[in-house]
Structure 1
């Protein structure tokens, strides 16, 4: 059997621990002992069912030359007989088999696992507060007010290479004008593109998307991921665009004429409304907020109080369907004007300014 010293020398060679002189000495030793090594190979490998065929002289020449190149030995000029080549092949086979098994046993030690951690290419901000809405200022100066359970995601090239945002839920966007980088919000497969404007995108309901333009102009398009195709639709200030993928409809609600605002701080229904009136949509075009709240209080027979700190020159543009509940309507109105609504004394609702601390970017959590 092959001595332990020879085995260890072969292992050291494959580990690269040998000097050039030591490698040459090892090769000379293996060549001198090739008859004995050949017999030992038959005993150690063929008895285990792994009988290896001897290499052809041509292949032996190639493999031996590879070993000589590694050890720095020049190719001899003399010609070897076929029997001599068989001996060399046996030596190489011994060399190779021990090296092969050694590498199998030590691969994990010799080649430690490499781990590659790619830098996150997107930034995600999600509302984690129980407050009505939270405000975040983007790198280009644009701002977004996120509703509860809503989030935005954009890549790290935002404000440099693009201004593309993916929205989940609902958000109000106040866009910093930049003619070279259009501002684009995508939700439910539909994109809303603007240069400098203010609008609300609502994609909270599956299969339904609403865009409410407050000022400026936007264009709405369907993307490859949209559930239905729509023609490019341009909105003017005050218009709303409703997409219903289940019904396969896309409806634009035009602007309506402004209504005269009624001035009052407290509103309560004084007379009973007819069933016909209750079924009508509420539509406002740059209407004074005092008047808007009065109409809502009348419709729902609920007292709505505007706090004295709320400016009386605020306006609202939009439309609510007959099926919208009171909380949905008040939420939208407060979202547009950076307000909040709470229950006051009794059954009255109080409209207040949103606390300053709720308008800072710390109100959103970044998810890397």
Structure 2
């Protein structure tokens, strides 16, 4: 008897003709031994592991008892065999189901980590952006700035990359320090608040709360509240400088406060162009190297230029997003 037909008979998928063949074959001497061996061999191939304590020999004996040949006429034997082997098939299918379930439970599917993606937030000229990271850290981006972090932020580390200027209020986490990476330095903090600038080779960190550690090339230092680190790579003769600062003068931009402390007019006009989103055209003959001291609170561009023009001796014209700076006619 072909093993394939026996298996189909046990699974109750055999055709009527195949069923009659199996029942007829089981009447022959020695068929029962072959039949039992086939069932046991199937179980052996389906074994789970060395830890599987199922007594398959005892189960086979139970099936053997349930399928013992009944006494009586041949026709009764055939009917009895058919009924009892339906029971045997059910038992085999049940055992197979248990084996399948156990395999499903014991199979440890490898964890497929999703690839991390890069998230970018940026501001254009004249824009500001306030955002909150998953850990509760708050960031305010100044105009013309960009911040980058991954979708895995907060899992193993809290790292962001900054171009431009941003103010950070860090959520406390003693296990995962917060880091801001720029092209010129790395600032590390646990729970603190600070302002960072990274523009065109100029880098600065001003600490308002807590403590931060800074790595700028070979330089390593720590800041206390009220201290500011400055590194100007545009000047090859300058190095890392640490000095005190006034909060309004450094991070006033967050609240719409513009403060200039002996800053060249050229630099001020460049910043105004970025902050207010305008294009500036400066006529020849204006001394853009003069230094300015002044503070403007929540002023629009026209008010700021009026104040600067009065002290610096220039006039201006605003045409939508274009501003002309010209010599005063007085």
TM-score w.r.t. length of structure 2? 0.43
Computing the radius of gyration from Cα coordinates, the structure with the larger value is 2
TM-score w.r.t. length of structure 1? 0.39
Q: Which has the higher contact order (CA 8 A, sep 6+)?
A: 1
